[in-house]
Structure 1
Amino acid sequence: MSTQTSPPANPAAATGERDSLLRLYLSRGVLAVAWALAFAGAHEDLDAVAITLLVVYPLIDAVSSLIDHRATPNGAERRVTAFNGVLSTLAALAIGIAGARDEAAVLHVFGAWAIVSGAAQVVVGLRRRGPELGKQWPTLISGGLSFLVGITYNVQATGDHPSLGVLSVYATGGGVGFVLQALLLGWKSRQLRARAV
């Protein structure tokens, strides 16, 4: 079955969606990198600051999903973004509870969230592949890596010395993926505008 979506009937609507996604992806990427820098200096002790940062990260994803949901036309893609928003909200609650226990519990919850949200990101990326929004490679790669890394975190959580330092690397990778996707959307917009002239 083809993963290509048919060109939107309304070019203005397609341009609006593309521009909205560009802003969302860029903001999401910058926030993820900023979070990674903050958490890198706060993860040594699982104290109130570290737990707050851990809860904030999936909440950033939940808000991004809500914005994406509002800007996305009705269809399967919109339902997946809604699902991801609810999932990220629940993940934030679960991570807050796990933070009261230990690093292993946090890694288990974060890993489970990374697996499911990564799979959802791949689905959205596949649905958005097409002439208006490009090939979505950064989104697809980032989602696939999130899925695989989530499995790794759950394995690490069963070890003798689980560390939360790996989460900064995860957030940085995800942030870079979003920024790259935003840059590609900007390049796609310039291509389409040049063709229209």
Structure 2
Amino acid sequence: MNSYKGDVASHGQDRWLKPYYFVRAAFSVVWVVAALTVGRHSSSIAAVLLVGYPVWDAAANYVDASRNGGLAANPTQAFNVAVSLIVSLAVVLALAMDMNRVLYVFGAWAIFSGLLQLATAIRRWKTSGGQWAMILSGGQSAVAGAFFIAQAQTPAPFAIADIAGYTGFGAFYFLVSAIWLTVIQSRAKAA
């Protein structure tokens, strides 16, 4: 069980994390919808979505770290920012080759970013609520990444819809964390 006591007044980080997690969930839902609709029918839009997702992740991690002491105080997020930006460039290069290479790049990124998310959630475990969902999300991301890498080595063609499920699970975990923090804050106010 999380040792977090629900003392919202002394944990301003939770006040930041709740809307942050809601925004991350909403962005992921919009990305999934775009990927499954226009991204499936337009290779140009699919390319923008595939490059844009790691750029968004880098920006989100940067903003979160900045709100919580800066990149120096949050080394896992600082590394995640760098990795996500490098991945966005790698996706651009992979798109010029073939879609299976894009899946391979996304797989490697899912492993690294998942492990970094896991480490961030463990670091926040005692100070913030909802981190159990972020731990699950990070672990599942790493497993999905390994699956993507294995899938990329098969001759089966890859499409953006293959990544949409991964992004959808990310949205689910961010939403669960945001709702968890909402419940904790409501209970603290009622007490």
- TM-score of the pair, normalised by structure 2: 0.89
Give the letter for the 1:189 counterpart. Answer: Q
- Matching of residue 160 in structure 1 with residue 166 in structure 2: no
Letter in 2 for 1:105: R
Q: Summarize deviations over 1:74-114 as a string: whole Å, max 9, x none.
A: 69861111111111111111111111111111001000000
2:71 and 2:158 map into 1 onto residues whose CA distance is 40
Single out whichever of 63-72 and 133-142 deviates more from structure 2. Answer: 133-142
**What pairs with 1:17-166 in structure 2 (closer than 5 Å)?**
17-44=13-40, 47-73=43-69, 78-130=74-126, 132-134=127-129, 136-164=131-159, 165-166=161-162
Give the 3 Å change call, closer, same or farther, for CA 5–184 of structure 1 in structure 2: closer
Q: Which amino acid aligns with 1:136?
A: Q
Q: How many residues align?
A: 189
- Output one character per residue of 1:94-152: Cα deviation in whole Å (capped at 9) or x when no partner: 1111111111110010000000000001111111112x422512111111110000000
Change in CA separation of 1:120 and 1:77 when aligned onto 2, cut-off 3 Å: farther
* Structure 2: stretches of 5+ with no match in the other structure: none
Residue 191 (str. 1) matches residue 190 (str. 2): no
2:63 counterpart letter in structure 1: I
One-letter code aligned to 1:83:
F
Structure 1: tracts of 5 or more residues without a match: none
Q: CA deviation at 1:185?
A: 1.0
Query: Which structure 1 residue ranges, 4+ long, deviate > 3 Å from structure 2?
Result: 3-8, 42-46, 73-77
- Contact 2:58 2:84 survives alignment (8 Å): yes
Q: 1:172 maps to what in 2?
A: 168
Note closer, same or farther for the CA distance 1:12–1:135 as it changes in structure 2 (3 Å cut).
closer
